[in-house]
């Protein structure tokens, strides 16, 4: 049986232009790894959005990261001011990882 360790998975739907700021805040919180995933389109309280490959202004990315609870909490505290102003969608869930020292 492989030993698994509990960690926190963070997913954030973010406007593409804001993603650099999110990455910086994650690094400030000690989160060293992340992945940005492109999205195609969607619909939310603000209406429809989609990646038009021209302006990129309404494009959204998914910021995905796994961290230990302390770092995850520090990161989520740091992005609190952006939740309302930039309409971020933040999801947090428990995951199990094989090599916990990496997160």
Partner 1 sequence: MASSGISPELLRALIAGLALSALIPFLVAPVLRRVGRLDRINAGAVAAHYGSVSVVTFVTASQIYNESAFVVAGFMVAVLAVMETPAILSGLLVARNANGTTLIERELLREVLVNGSVVLLVGSFFIGVAIGPDGFDPIEPVFTSGFTGILCLFLLDMGLVAVRRILQTRTLSRRLVVLAVLFPLGNGTIGVAVGTLIGLDPASSAAFGVLAASASYIAVPAAMRLSLPQADAGLYLAMSLGVTFPFNLVLGIPLFRWMSETLGSMSW
**Contact set with partner 1 (CB under 8 A):** 15-18, 20-21, 24, 47-50, 52-58, 85-87
CB 63 within 8 A of CB 34: yes
In angstroms, what is the minimal distance from the CB of 61 to partner 1? 12
Q: Which is nearer to partner 1, 47 or 99 (CB)?
A: 47
In angstroms, what is the minimal distance from the CB of 90 to partner 1? 15
Q: Which is nearer to partner 1, 25 or 74 (CB)?
A: 25
Q: Which is nearer to partner 1, 24 or 102 (CB)?
A: 24
List b or e across 73-91, with b for residues whose CB sees 16 or more CB atoms inside 10 angstroms.
Answer: ebbbeebeebeeeeebebe
Q: Which is nearer to partner 1, 54 or 98 (CB)?
A: 54
Q: How many whole angstroms separate alpha carbon 23 and alpha carbon 54? A: 23
Question: Looking at the DSSP assignment, which residues form a beta bridge with residue 41?
Answer: 50
Tokens found for residue 82: 């952006």
In angstroms, what is the minimal distance from the CB of 82 to partner 1? 9
**Kind of pairing, strands 89-97 and 60-67?**
unpaired
In angstroms, what is the minimal distance from the CB of 18 to partner 1? 6
């Amino acid at each position: 049986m492989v030993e698994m360790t509990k960690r926190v998975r963070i997913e954030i739907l973010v406007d593409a232009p804001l993603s650099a700021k999110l990455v910086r805040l994650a690094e400030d919180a000690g989160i060293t790894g992340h992945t940005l995933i492109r999205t195609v389109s969607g619909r939310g309280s603000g209406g429809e959005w989609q990646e038009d490959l021209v302006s990129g202004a309404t494009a959204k990315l998914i910021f995905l990261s796994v961290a230990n609870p302390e770092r995850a909490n520090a990161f989520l505290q740091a992005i609190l001011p952006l939740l309302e102003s930039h309409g971020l969608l933040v999801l947090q869930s428990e995951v199990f990882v094989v090599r916990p020292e990496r997160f």
